Amino acid sequence: MGGKEGARGYLYQSVVSVLNSLVARDWLFVQIEPDTTNDKVDISWFYENDEQEVTQVKSSINNFTKPNIIHWFETLLQDVPNAKDYKLILIGTCSDPTKQFINKLNKNNFAADEQDEIATISPFLDRMNVQLENFDLDSMESKIYTSLNKFLSHKGHTVGHYLLEMMTGAIVYQFFKFSTNGSKVSKADFEKQLLEWVYFNYPEVKSDLPSNKLLVEFYLTQKVSFSNTMKSFNLKLLNMEFIEKRKQKLIKEIDEINKIHIPQKEKEVVKETGIFGSPLKLSLYVSSEYSPKKQQEIREKTQRLLGIQLSDDFFYVGNLKEQQVRLHTPFFSTPVERIGDEVEKQKFEKLEEYDYELEELEAFVKQFKFLEEFSLIPLVLKNEGKQYDEKIKVLIKLPMSIEVLTPDSYQEPEYIVLEKLTGYDSVLNLFLRHQKDSKVQDNVNDSFIPFNQYRNLLDLEKRIEHDYSDFRWYLKTLLDFEIHNEADYLVVEFHFDELNPKENIAFPCYILVKSNESFVINYEITSKNSQDVSTGQLFYIVD
């Protein structure tokens, strides 16, 4: 490879690197051939917090060697000592041992006996990368063609093969202007200059530019078709199979308990013993039968939740007794020892199960009654244009009179049902957000990670504290929005990473509101690839 070919290889690879970075990476500024202390950097990208990624492009007719690579990294480190990443792009060939060295460097996988050779760069290996490219003109042009096509597609353009080939040949020489002035250019300005060059030289591309087609509509699987108008409705959670199954199970358990017959028995008398001449009743065991107060509570719950009046002997367990004193520690409790016949023990176990599941049902009913006070607003974001878009922000503007359910205003559940209301397999995840169907992508914030490590080693109080903390964290990932009180509106702010053309994505959750009258929802959409703010209105009808 001669000097002229080497220069072309350097330039072609620089074009490919920058064009690919426009689509693949989220940088803020770029400098091509920046003016650094030692002039060793060919391309420099800048990120948030002024973090810098530097690249040097080398081309040669001779094989690249290990000493070459180490030396070039050393000079990069001296030139920009605080960069977050260092990259070498080598256009040419190298021996097999050098290829093995490059692989080890990229994986930071050197043996102990190789450390001396790389001592000067060893502390920085996790920030270093080598990309080896063969120089072949057709191959390099093909890469420019592909990266340019990808960039234009992200901007909503579909460009034919012949036109793309002309652009590929021309952009290399246009790029040279950028690569010699060394100025720091923002990503937005770089994209703007590139598009202006495309539109000026190839006006037929600009005529293909689609209008922005991001919009918000109501939608709910099998209930609300895509529309800008819908009638309000509440989630009928208390009528769902989830509750009905639990009721039927409890009714079956009542029947099973009633079928366990225990004959009436005389109460056993606790013998008296004397201590210092005074009579004293001593017993290590007490009756296992529920107290009158607890029996009455269960009767009232059963009547209220199931509409069933329990029989007089429903709680009778004969002479079943249990330990009066047990060993308790923060991490361990001795099991309850009960004395009685097998029928008495069987009935008591079924009563315990019934009591637990009845309490669980009551807690679910309280939760669902609370949620049924709110009306449901199911929204989706649609991309009806030909343009891929990303970094999308949607502002939903509601009248100030509307009350919106937020993580802070959510009614805290009872602990007995907390686990079933927490996490991505919970009933809340099923009831309060869109599920994926053939028309709409689901939208899950997967940042919630439950606290499991050492949980079982915690005492009960700490475990409960952690479980409630998990629930509050999960709720914030489910009701994934920000809310702002502004002069004229209550603004609910949502963010979406990206949306392809002709696709629809659900909002992260339903918006749950309280309102006694119909209202208009105004919305605004801004995004990375939209030059203007998209606005629209939705109409929510409250009967």
What residues contact residue 515 under an 8 Å CB cut-off, 6+ apart? 232, 375, 399, 401, 402, 403, 540, 542
Q: Which residue in 505, 484, 510 sits closest to 405, CA to CA?
A: 510
Domain ranges of the chain: 3-206, 214-234+375-541, 239-371
Token pair recorded at residue 529 = 């690839």
Which class for 543: exposed (0-12), middle (13-18), buried (19 or more C-beta within 10 A)? Answer: exposed
How does strand 52-59 pair with strand 85-91? parallel
Sheet holding 224-227, edge to edge: 224-227, 214-220, 379-383, 504-506
Of 98, 96, 122, 97, nearest in space to 109 by CA:
122
Residue 41 has phi, psi (to 5 degrees) of -100, 130
**What is the mean predicted confidence (pLDDT) over 249-259?**
96
Q: What integer is the mean pLDDT of 170-176? A: 75
The whole-number average pLDDT for the span 256-268 is 84
What is the DSSP track for 155-220? TT----HHHHHHHHHHHHHHHHHHHHH--EEEHHHHHHHHHHHHHHH-HHHHTTPPPP-EEEEEEE
Q: Is the pLDDT of residue 208 over 70?
A: no
Q: Which residue in this structure is represented by tokens 């620089």? A: 14
Torsion angle (degrees, nearest 10) of CA 42, 45, 51, 54: -30
3-class DSSP assignment, residue 100: helix
Q: What is the CATH number of domain 3-206?
A: 3.40.1350
What is the spatial distance between Cα 161 and Cα 84, in angstroms, rounded to a whole number?
38
Cα first-last separation, the chain = 78
**Percentage with pLDDT > 70 across the chain:** 89
The count of other CB atoms within 10 Å of the CB of residue 497 is 9
pLDDT of residue 253: 97
Tell me the backbone φ, ψ of residue 492, rounded to 5 degrees. -105, 120
Q: How far apart are CA 117 and CA 120, in angstroms?
A: 8
Six-digit token string for 528: 């990375």
- Strand order of the β-sheet with 403-404 is 375-377, 511-514, 403-404
Backbone angles phi, psi at 4, to 5 degrees: -65, -45
Phi (first) and psi of residue 499, to 5 degrees: -155, 120
Does position 531 have pLDDT exceeding 90, yes or no? Answer: no
Instruction: Please write the tens of the pLDDT for every residue from 29-72.
Output: 888 888 888 888 888 888 866 789 999 988 888 899 999 999 99
How sure is the predictor about 3, in pLDDT bands with cuts at 50, 70 and 90? very low
pLDDT 10s digits, 213-230: 899 999 999 889 898 888
Which positions ≥6 away from 38 have C-beta within 8 Å? 75, 78, 79
Average pLDDT over every residue of 183-199: 80
Q: Residues 6 or more apart from 133 whose CB is under 8 A from it?
A: 9, 13, 89, 90, 91, 92
Structure tokens at 214: 């991001």
Choose among 5, 2, 27: nearest CA to 17: 27
Q: What pLDDT score does 283 carry?
A: 59
- Please indicate, yes or no, whether the overall pTM of this predicted structure exceeds 0.75: no
Closest CA to 165 of 197, 202, 115: 202
Average pLDDT of the chain to the nearest whole number? 86
Token duo for residue 37: 């202390």
Closest by CA to 80, choosing from 42, 120, 118, 137, is 42
- What are the tokens at 376? 């449901």
Residues whose CB is less than 8 angstroms from the CB of residue 66 and which lie 6 or more positions away in sequence, other chains included: 97, 98, 101, 117
CATH class of 214-234+375-541: mainly beta
DSSP letter for 435, please. Answer: P
Report the SS3 class of residue 111: coil
Q: CA-to-CA distance for 459 and 224, rounded, in angstroms?
A: 48
- Predicted confidence at residue 259, as pLDDT, reads 94
Residues of the chain above pLDDT 90, percent: 49
**Model pLDDT for residues 383-425, shown as the tens digit of each residue:** 988 788 999 999 999 999 999 999 999 999 999 999 999 998 8
Give yes or no for residue 477 having a pLDDT over 80. Answer: yes
pLDDT at 277 over 70: no
From the list 12, 2, 8, the residue with the least C-alpha distance to 60 is: 2
Return the pLDDT at 459: 79
Going by C-alpha positions, the residue among 528, 511, 280 that lies closest to residue 404 is 511
More confident residue, 444 or 212: 444
Three-point CA angle 69, 84, 105, nearest 5°: 35
**Length reported for the chain:** 543
Q: Give the residue, 2 or 101, on which the prediction is more confident.
A: 101
Cα–Cα distance for residue pair 396/521, rounded to 1 Å: 7
* pLDDT > 50? residue 2: no
Residue with tokens 């637990």: 356
What pLDDT does residue 12 have? 73
